């Protein structure tokens, strides 16, 4: 199996696991910052245990790597906070779909790293994603005080932070393994948010709440983001971003079935437009693999 084909397969698994994040934002009775810090602690412990058991290197090579990767970790933490806040003030569907303006942002930013020209097809695909988000907003586009508009605003902030983090990680630290990258990033998030945790609410969590947090930290954080980091090493960041657009479709379906969050027609239409971009990029990558 070629590196790009393997990266594509790994990406599909990562997208499925990441789609569960929306459920966790609603099921865990904590604010976005507390959830982010606790998921990071659990993810860091999981990845450290993995490295020790597999006898893999877990330390970074030098001080410069520590400074850079922990800085990227800070971006990841801010991305998670704004993302979870987006879903908590609106719905899982709104938070997920607005986050997926990040393919457009990635398409615009990646040429600064690759020194390649913007492709018309990539710009067109990114604009289609933006159109999907616009349709999703409907007549709430000018009502910033509405829950939908607030959700979209924080989702787009999260999208920018996520795109920037992915690009910095891909082009500045290609030599660092995916699991090491993630272990140190989530460690950075854990430290950064330590003083902002709502400790009284955390202490009152039930056993089921802690089990949900454990699933979030291990499956949808440690495993999912390590797989995503791996796919970034073998695929263009824009391809990862566009194919990841399948995530809101899966998340909206989960929220509908489990949380009874029935999406509006506008959300469904906008979501279908966004998902079409992911399918287009998937087929394009598959054709590239067949030719190589």
Question: Does the pLDDT at position 93 exceed 80?
Answer: no
Under the banding of pLDDT at 50, 70 and 90, the label for residue 66 is very high
> Residue 112 contacts by C-beta under 8 Å, 6 or more apart in sequence?
none
Question: Does the pLDDT at position 290 exceed 90?
Answer: no
Question: Does the pLDDT at position 282 exceed 80?
Answer: no
- Encoded tokens for 254: 């989960």
- Evaluated on CA atoms 211, 23, 38, 10, the torsion sign reads positive
pLDDT for 211 equals 94
- Encoded tokens for 85: 């806040």
* Contact call for residues 28 and 35 (beta carbons, < 8 A): yes
Under the banding of pLDDT at 50, 70 and 90, the label for residue 70 is very high
Question: Does the pLDDT at position 74 exceed 60?
Answer: yes
pLDDT for 1 equals 54
Question: Does the pLDDT at position 19 exceed 70?
Answer: yes
Query: Residue 230 and residue 279: Cα distance in Å, rounded?
Result: 21
Under the banding of pLDDT at 50, 70 and 90, the label for residue 253 is confident
Query: What whole-number percentage of the chain has pLDDT above 70?
Result: 90
Q: Average of pLDDT values for 44-73? A: 93
* Contact call for residues 274 and 245 (beta carbons, < 8 A): yes
pLDDT for 291 equals 57
* Contact call for residues 102 and 237 (beta carbons, < 8 A): no
- Evaluated on CA atoms 227, 233, 235, 236, the torsion sign reads positive
pLDDT for 107 equals 81
Q: Average of pLDDT values for 129-139? A: 71
DSSP state letter for 262: P
Q: What is the reported pTM?
A: 0.82
pLDDT for 49 equals 94
Q: What is the dihedral of CA 232, 233, 237, 239, to 10 degrees?
A: -80
pLDDT for 177 equals 92
pLDDT for 138 equals 64
Please report the beta strands in the chain, taking only residues with DSSP state E, as ranges in sequence order: none
* Contact call for residues 1 and 233 (beta carbons, < 8 A): no
Q: Average of pLDDT values for 82-101? A: 81
* Contact call for residues 186 and 43 (beta carbons, < 8 A): yes
Question: Position of tokens 């440690």?
Answer: 222
Q: Average of pLDDT values for 243-263? A: 79
pLDDT for 67 equals 96
> Which tops the pLDDT comparison, 272 or 230?
230
Convert 56-67 to b/e letters by CB count within 10 Å (16 or more is b). Answer: eebebeeeebee
pLDDT for 200 equals 95
> What would the pLDDT profile of 160-177 be if each residue is shown by its tens digit?
999 999 999 999 999 999
Question: Does the pLDDT at position 131 exceed 90?
Answer: no
């Amino acid at each position: 199996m070629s590196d790009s084909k393997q990266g594509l397969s790994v990406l599909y698994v990562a997208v499925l696991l990441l789609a569960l994040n929306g459920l966790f934002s609603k099921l865990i009775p904590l604010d976005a910052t507390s959830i982010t810090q606790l998921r990071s602690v659990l993810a860091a412990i999981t990845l450290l245990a993995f490295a020790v058991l597999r006898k893999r290197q877990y330390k970074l090579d030098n001080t410069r790597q520590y400074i850079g990767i922990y800085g990227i970790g800070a971006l990841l933490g801010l991305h998670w906070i704004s993302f979870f806040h987006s879903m908590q003030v609106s719905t899982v569907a709104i938070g997920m779909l607005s986050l997926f303006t990040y393919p457009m942002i990635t398409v615009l930013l990646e040429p600064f790293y690759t020194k390649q020209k913007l492709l018309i097809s990539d710009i067109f695909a990114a604009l289609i994603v933006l159109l999907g988000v616009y349709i999703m907003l409907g007549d709430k586009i000018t009502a910033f005080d509405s829950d939908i508009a607030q959700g979209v605003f924080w989702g787009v902030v999260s999208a920018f932070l996520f795109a920037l983090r992915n690009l910095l990680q891909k082009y500045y630290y290609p030599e660092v393994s995916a699991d090491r990258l993630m272990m140190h990033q989530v460690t950075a998030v854990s430290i950064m948010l330590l003083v902002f945790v709502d400790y009284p609410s955390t202490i009152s969590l039930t056993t089921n709440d802690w089990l949900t947090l454990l699933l979030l930290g291990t499956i949808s954080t440690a495993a999912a983001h390590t797989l995503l980091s791996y796919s970034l090493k073998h695929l263009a960041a824009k391809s990862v971003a566009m194919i990841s657009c399948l995530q809101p479709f899966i998340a909206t379906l989960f929220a509908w079935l489990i949380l009874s969050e029935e999406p509006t027609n506008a959300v469904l239409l906008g979501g279908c437009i966004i998902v079409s971009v992911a399918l287009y990029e998937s087929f394009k990558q598959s054709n590239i693999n067949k030719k190589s």
